[in-house]
Each structure stands twice: as C-alpha cells, then as structure tokens.
Amino acid sequence: MKTKLIAEAGINHNGDISLVKKLIDLADLAGYKYIKFQKRTPDICVPEKQKNKIKITPWGKITYLEYKKKIEFEEEQYNIINEYCKNKDINWFVSVWDIESAKFMSKYPSVRIVKLPSAHLTNCVLGKYCRENFEKVLVSTGMSTEEEIQNAIDAYEPDVIFHTNSTYPTPIEELNLGYIKWLQEKYPTKEIGFSSHDYGVSSSVIAMAMGCKWIENHITLSHELWGSDQKSSKDPAGTFAIYRRIAEMEKSLGGYEERKVYESEKEKREALRGE
C-alpha cells in the first residue's frame, strides 16, 4: 500500500503494557505501517490550574497530575514496545509534548519520525528541536489559526502537515475535508495527511482519495474501555475496514491515460458489438 497508515494508540492503553501489546497486534494484523503513542513529562505538560483537579479514574479519585503519571510510560515500557514492534515488523513512534520527551526518544535510534500534536503546533522551540534531531517531522493543525500554522511551518519546516479537527469525536459537519486541498495548494512541497477523530470510516477514505499520503486513526480494542479517547477511536472492525477500503481505493484510482480496452471487456465487446 502506498498510503502510510498510522494507528494512533495514544493513551488508550491506560498505562497497561499488556493492553499495548494487544493494540500493536491489532495494528499489525490490520496492515498498518505505523503505530503511534504519546510521550510527555506530566510535571511540565499539565497546566498548573489542572494539576490538582480531582479526576475519577480506575485508580480511584486522584489529581489530574497523578492520573497523567499513571498512564505515562517510561524507559522500561518503551523498551518492551520497541522490542515487540521489532518482532512484529511494524514501525512505532510518538507524539512529543515537551523537549524532555523528545530527548528521551533519542534512546531509540531506529525511531526517526516524530510528531508534534495540535496542542503544540505553536511550540516552535519544541518544533525546532525535533527538526534538528529527527529525520521526519509531522505536525497536526487542529484548533489552530492560519497564521499559527504558517508561523509553525516557517519556524521548523515539518515534512508532513496533517489536517485535523481537535474535537473528540468530530461532528461530521466540522470535518472540513476541503481544507486538505487548501493545504495541498498552499504547501505544494509538503506531504499532506489527515488525522481522524470522528466515528466513521468514510472521512479517511475520502482524504486518501483527495491525495493525502498519510492517514492517522486512533484505535481501541473496545469503545467500552475507560478513557477519554476510546469512543472517538476505531474499534477492531473499523481499523480493518479503513485498511481494506483504502487498499481498494488505491487500486481503483488508476486510469489517467488514454482509454484502453481491458482483456476482461473483450468478450463483452464481441457479444454486444460483434467485433
């Protein structure tokens, strides 16, 4: 498949390495080229006004900062992820939320891709660090103005620009897929991607047909699992459906050439035209 499919595991593992392995298995079986996680340093990334807010979690009522630390993986877990993906022959990388997390990823020389999430598109210091230390830099444009996007692209020159809407889940009427064409025309030297946060499968297939080279979808083992991103993620059926439909779309989009008569048409031509 030419389209690069990213299975966004994100934080849907809830800090459980056994669940991570199942998500990697799902992405691998479905045919995805990449699986992506999120790496952050909670003490740095969680806004001060959020840190002490109480959140109801599977671990009881704890502060938001404690919750973020519960679901954060460190070197032990990422070593397991690195080895497991290597054995599965699927590539992995992360969205980084701070420079410390980007530095942490340098421990894995095989991981040469990094992404800045929409929340940090305007963090040009982080963007420049990633540009200097990774081969390919991806960025999402959710909840950003045109000026902010332009400033980010000028500052750290990402290789891939993802159109996305940061509402989880995204209402269909706010998918705004026409913006893909806007990005393609405005940044003709960049690869354009689409990161889906809606319930369905169609938007990813449409985005691919519009020319997106990268398609990203959150994945989950079940919409019933605990976590803020589970319901806006694709379950196993949806994960497989996206691969299958995009593969079918790739096969069907040929034909930009002089019309030719296929071998499969010749029998019908003879029957209907006598030729």
Whether 227 has a pLDDT exceeding 90, the answer reads no
Under 8 Å between Cβ of 211 and 180? yes
Within 13 A of 246's CA, how many CA atoms are on the CB side?
30
Give me the domain span that covers residue 138. Answer: 4-273
**DSSP helix, strand, coil percent of the chain (3-state; round to 5):** 45, 20, 35
Q: How many Cβ atoms sit within 10 Å of the Cβ of residue 93?
A: 23
Whether omega before 58 lies within 30 degrees of 0, making that bond cis, reads no
Q: What sign does the CA torsion over 96, 18, 53, 62 have?
A: negative
What is the per-residue pLDDT across 229-248, written as a single tens digit (0 to 9) for each?
A: 888 899 999 999 999 999 99
pLDDT at 86: 94
What is the per-residue pLDDT across 137-196, written as a single tens digit (0 to 9) for each?
A: 999 999 999 999 999 999 999 999 999 999 988 999 999 999 999 999 999 999 999 999
Categorize the per-residue pLDDT at 226 as very low, low, confident or very high, splitting at 50, 70 and 90: confident
What number of helices (H) and strands (E) belong to the chain? 12, 10
Q: How many Cβ atoms sit within 10 Å of the Cβ of residue 74?
A: 10
Domain with residue 123: its CATH number is: 3.20.20.70
pLDDT at 53: 92
Helix 236-252 and helix 202-209, axial crossing angle in degrees, nearest 10: 30
pTM of the model: 0.92
Q: Which residues lie closer than 8 Å to 167 by C-beta, 6 or more apart?
A: 174, 197
Taking alpha carbons only, the member of 147, 91, 152 closest to residue 118 is 152
Tokens read off for 22: 């199942």
* Mean pLDDT for the stretch of residues 118-131: 97
Q: What sign does the CA torsion over 219, 222, 223, 225 have?
A: negative
Under 8 Å between Cβ of 140 and 195? yes
What is the per-residue pLDDT across 39-96, written as a single tens digit (0 to 9) for each?
A: 999 999 999 999 999 999 999 999 999 999 999 999 999 999 999 999 998 999 999 9
In the chain, which residue ranges form alpha helices assigned H by DSSP? 17-30, 42-45, 48-51, 64-70, 75-88, 99-105, 124-133, 146-156, 179-186, 202-209, 236-252, 263-273
Q: How many domains does the chain contain in total?
A: 1
Q: Which residues of 35-49 are buried (b: 16+ CB within 10 A; e: fewer)?
A: bbbbbbbbeebbeee
